[in-house]
Chains A and B, each alone.
Chain A
Amino acid sequence: AQSVTQLGSHVSVSEGALVLLRCNYSSSVPPYLFWYVQYPNQGLQLLLKYTSAATLVKGINGFEAEFKKSETSFHLTKPSAHMRDAAEYFCAVSAANQAGTALIFGKGTTLSVSS
């Protein structure tokens, strides 16, 4: 079965600093990976997705993630944090041989941005 582990439940950065949110996956077949963002009291919004077309994926709001099969990782980065990036971020996986199943989510990482 597939699973996702997000390392660090809380990440704090200063405005303008690099953002790095870590995600490692477990899947016996090629995975499809997603990053979502949740702002307070809202639903989840897709940031970006990896579906095997390219290992470096660019998303909305300046975020990007790199798929590394050898490390089973899909870390999310942004070169320069903004105050508006403060939110909760979720990594999710959908295994390639289980298209009928829903996405499986990690436990989330809360990003705090200080001025």
Chain B
Amino acid sequence: NAGVTQTPKFQVLKTGQSMTLQCAQDMNHEYMSWYRQDPGMGLRLIHYSVGAGITDQGEVPNGYNVSRSTTEDFPLRLLSAAPSQTSVYFCASRERGYTEAFFGQGTRLTVV
């Protein structure tokens, strides 16, 4: 049982480049979300989804796009990378209701 799988684990981008962080879950969870983790800031919510075709913005959405075409996948797109987007990114999924979130192992992104 894989749970939540994120790829890649590490990535270095140049300023202005675009890329997609992949997230897939095999637990048939309806809810998925993306967070970024920065020192002293905890986890901040970027975007979330409550089902296929439904997404919404979190606390820090600027510079990021998401889409949810299937229950399993929730990719995060960086349109034009900036050094301020250097961070560790976590994807999470939850069942419907007041349940805990399951996390991937993270993607460490550096923008130079």
Contacts and interface: CB of A to CB of B under 8 A. Distances in A.
Interface of A: 6, 9, 32, 34, 42-46, 49, 51, 90, 92, 94, 96, 99-108
Nearest to B30: A100
* Contact-residue size bin, chain B (C-beta under 8 Å from the other chain): 20 to 34
B98 A107 contact: no
Interface of B: 4, 31, 33, 35, 40-45, 48, 50, 58, 90, 92, 94, 96-98, 100-106
Contacts, number: 59
B50 A9 contact: no
B97 A104 contact: no
Main secondary structure, interface of B, reads: strand
Contacts of A45: 103
Nearest to A108: B42
Contacts of A49: 100
